[in-house]
Structure 1
Amino acid sequence: MTRPTFTFEDLKDILREGAGADPDTLQQTTLDATFVDLGFESLALLETLSRIERQYDIALDDTAFTGASTPRALIALVNEQLNSAVA
C-alpha cells in the first residue's frame, strides 16, 4: 500500500484556502520561519489543523500540533501521523 505524503505544496494550499494566506508569504525559504513570524494567528492555525484532519482523515494531537511552530515541523508531524495510520 502506498503511503500518502503531505507536502509543502499541500500545506500552502490548505493555508491559502483556510487562512487566506498570501502565496508570496509561503516559499521554500520560509520552511523554518515560525507561523507567528509568517503572520498566522492561532485561529488560522486551528482552521488549518481542522482542514488537514478532514482532508487526510487523521487526528493530530493538540499538544504535538502546538509544538509544530514552523511549516517544516507541521509537515513532519502530518507525515508521521499519516505513516503511523498506514502501518
Structure 2
Amino acid sequence: MGWHLKQTAWGQGYATEAARAVLEYGFDRLKLPVVYSIMHPEDISSARVVKRLGMNWAGHTNQHYKTELEMYQLEAHAWRQSV
C-alpha cells in the first residue's frame, strides 16, 4: 500500500483516510493475512500515517523503485483488534 499526493494535499488526512479504506477492503473483503506499506526513509509524514494506522516497522526492501525503502506491515488479526 502506498500513496502519492500533491504537496497541496499534504496534512489534510487524505492518506490516512484512504489507507484505512484500503486496509478494511484488504482484510475484510479480500481476506488478506497481512498488508505492507513502503516509503522512502526520509518520508517522515508517511511514517506517521502508517504508525497511526497501527502498522509496525518490518525492515528495509529494495524490491520497488530501484532504491532502498522502509517497509511497514499490519496483520489482519491486529487490524481486527484495533477496530
Identify the TM-score tier after normalising by the shorter chain: 0.3 to 0.5
Q: TM-score, normalised by structure 2?
A: 0.33
- Structure scoring higher RCO (CA < 8 A, sep ≥ 6) equals 1
Which one has a larger percent strand, Structure 1 or Structure 2? 2
Which one has a larger percent helix, Structure 1 or Structure 2? 1
Q: TM-score, normalised by structure 1?
A: 0.32
